[in-house]
Structure 1
């Protein structure tokens, strides 16, 4: 099966709404009192209790989606399961490959069980995080270097049978382009999600439009779609008022609960979980600006309450 065939058959691009989960890592830390080393939720896969906690998380969100007649996207808990972060945590490349493959099997099992129970359509997405911090571009890679860096994780997801990969919290265009190249080489669909600062620009200084158009120009539009994550709607709504074909490429939103900046969130020792109903209302406004919006979920500080409010407002 070719990469293009897989891209055009993603169900979230066929007119049916899809929901994803909320901010898994902040929920685990602040609500479940689980210590996550470097936000590495994948380490919970190593224990029975950890798996039970993750399954409870996925099921609760998938059931919200089902209640609103929507499909659900199962993002693997692997945002930190790439080479540099893995090495920092003590995992070599072989161990990371096994973790990434196991994560696909784990969420696929939950997806299949719920499909048998409810008939709900589910998409398994291998979640990729940035090489760097996420909020700070740091040492930027050219797209070729980014493709080489992210290829092992992308290939592990493809080999394990994931339906797609999603790269979250990207802070500059070249890394996104590299991931798109890696996905094309592996024959798997990809969604690319940028984060923005309070001024609506990527941490690199690029505008959303500039980043999306640059990646599409370099890769021939290889990404199935783009998303925005890890920012509050007030940070980017004004940016989306600009007209242009580039907006039709944005098909997903996973916003933060808090209006705080990235720097403020990094410094905060308490969770700002905002107002779920207000967040839902803001998603409804975003939907009016993004007619192609097909996937809604949450990021830092959000949980089932926020996802429920968003689903109710949008669906």
Structure 2
């Protein structure tokens, strides 16, 4: 088993602020011109050119983290690198395991290049939902979800991930299964729910109920919760209180667009929104969620949006000098 320096003490839980990346898949498709089968960014790891492109993608966010003098959560490009989706794309279990391990190694290379004692780089094995990501589809029980995701989580644990994160969870049973599987593997996990325009999960469950149910049925196994793949205007009203459950939310990865999931699914163009406006909306969210420590983006966002979010939530860049930032 490879050494994972932050597995037993995640620095994002100790008051430090972190950036993470933006919308990896939408950047690769709409800005960089890649054709990703089933939105599977990990498929680029098949070639040296694709791997180099992904490394440059993460370097861009590592430099942003340098600019703001904060650490980085490196979410591996493995959102689709799970048995069901891997088989659809043509990967057998042996090849899929190898590529999951290689994605963790890519994260270690970024960490070795940019990390400092003051700015930790946490490698997070990115888990995606078994289903679509925008809708529930065929739901699993918590036990089925634990069994399904345990394979990929076990690989991440052995390969040296510091943690795992389930992104774009559409219903609570899958989140519970992931939390249980991660606990068995000895990995801290983050659970990130996606929300519809009414602030509810695609399953229809309110966010508060989902978090309380997941905590209640796992003994508060998740290290923290996040919200991703939704615009701040979709869920800001859900956060309009000082209830204790809100303290469990430590990360936001919002969409650039105000469109619903259905509208995004049917759109052939990328709605990039307004980076500065999105940054201001994150600033408003930080006032409601003072425990937020992980700031990034999801569909439609890129380094411009994350930079604007950094200005709003972290402050003026204090890392690299201005001439280096704009060189």
Q: If the TM-score is normalised by the length of the shorter chain, which range does it land in?
A: over 0.9
Would you identify which runs of 4 or more consecutive aligned residues in structure 1 move more than 2 Å?
5-8
Aligned to 1:266: 265
- Is the partner of 1:238 in helix, strand or coil? helix
Aligned to 1:18: 18
Does the residue aligned with 2:252 lie in a helix, a strand or coil? strand
Deviations 1:175-214 (Å, cap 9, x if unpaired)? Answer: 0000000000000010000000000000000011000000
| Stretches of structure 2 lacking an aligned partner (at least 5 in a row) | 315-327
State the TM-score, normalizing by the size of structure 2: 0.93
Alignment of 1:1-315 (within 5 A): 9-115=9-115, 120-315=119-314
Q: Is the 8 A contact 2:7 2:161 kept in 1?
A: no
**Equivalent residue of 2:126, what SS?**
strand
**Counterpart secondary structure, 1:61:** helix
Structure 1 residues not aligned, in runs of 5+ = none
Hey, what's the Cα distance between the residues in 2 that align with 1:172 and 1:136? Answer: 9
Match of 2:319 in 1: none
Q: Secondary structure at the match of 2:115?
A: helix
| Rounded Cα–Cα distance in structure 2 between residues aligned with 1:224 and 1:313 | 25
Q: TM-score, normalised by structure 1?
A: 0.96
| CA displacement at 1:102 relative to structure 2 | 1.1
- For the residue of structure 2 that corresponds to 1:151, the secondary structure is helix
State the Cα distance separating 1:243 from its structure 2 match: 3.3
Moved more, 118-127 or 94-103: 118-127
**Structure 1 residues 270, 52: CA separation in 2 closer, same or farther (over 3 Å shift)?**
same
CA displacement at 1:163 relative to structure 2: 0.3
Q: Is this contact kept in 2: 1:23–1:303, CA < 8 A? A: yes
Does the C-alpha gap of structure 1 residues 225 and 76 become closer, same or farther in structure 2, counting only changes over 3 Å?
A: same
1:8 shift after superposition: 5.6
Asked whether the equivalents of residues 6 and 188 of structure 1 are also in contact (C-alpha less than 8 Å), the reply is no
State the alpha-carbon separation in 2 of the partners of residues 54 and 7 from structure 1.
Answer: 24
CA distance in 2, matches of 1:260, 1:75: 24
Equivalent residues of 2:241, 2:288 under 8 A apart: no
Verify the 8 A CA contact 2:166 2:191 in the aligned structure 1: yes
- Matched residues, number: 311
Contact 1:22/1:299 (<8 A) preserved: yes
**Cα distance in 2, alignment partners of residues 178 and 64 from structure 1:** 34
Tell me the C-alpha RMSD between the 2 structures: 1.5
Contact 1:126 1:166 in 2 (8 A): yes
Q: Residue deviations 1:131-156, cap 9 Å, x none?
A: 00011111111101100000000000
Q: Per the alignment, in what secondary structure is the counterpart of residue 167 of structure 1?
A: strand
* 1:296 CA drift (Å): 0.4
Report the CA distance between 1:312 and its aligned residue: 0.7
Is the 8 Å Cα contact of residues 193 and 226 (structure 1) preserved in structure 2? yes
